Each structure stands twice: as C-alpha cells, then as structure tokens.
Amino acid sequence: MRLEDFRLEVAKLTRQQLSVISGVSISTIQRAEEGEPIGRLKRAQILEGLSKHLGREVTREEIDEFKP
C-alpha cells in the first residue's frame, strides 16, 4: 500500500496531522508519498508517528515506498 493511501484510508490523517505526530515536515511527507527518497531517520519518524496514532506497530513492509 502506498503511504498516501495508508495515511488516508487506514490512519485517516491529513498530511498536516501526520507531520505533527511524526515530527517531520509536510514537504517530507509529500516527497515520500510521491516516491522520492527520504532519509532513514525521517522514514522511521513517520512509521513511529503512524504506530503511535494507530496503537500498533506499523512496519515499512506495509508501505510500498518504504520497502527496500
């Protein structure tokens, strides 16, 4: 599943909300959603924010853009 789809359909968050809970900029989230590379730390922060919001661990395997 793409990050944008996961954010909208599973987490039900706006980019702004994900930015706040993950501590990364909206532009970083937008780049990740567009398939552009982002750093490992930013990727980890996004996953951690999603995990906290959903109350379960969200792994990078769940999000296509984050797969190796």
The answer to whether the CB of 60 falls within 8 A of the CB of 45 is no
> What is the spatial distance between Cα 68 and Cα 18, in angstroms, rounded to a whole number?
22
**In the numeric block, which tokens belong to residue 24?**
């990364």
Q: At 3, is the pLDDT very low, low, confident or very high (cuts 50, 70, 90)?
A: very high
Q: Give pLDDT tens digits for 5-55.
A: 999 999 999 999 999 999 999 999 999 999 899 999 999 999 999 999 999
> What is the spatial distance between Cα 25 and Cα 10, in angstroms, rounded to a whole number?
20
The answer to whether the CB of 47 falls within 8 A of the CB of 58 is yes
Q: Identity (one letter) of the amino acid at 31?
A: R
pTM of structure? 0.93
Q: What is the pLDDT of residue 68?
A: 65
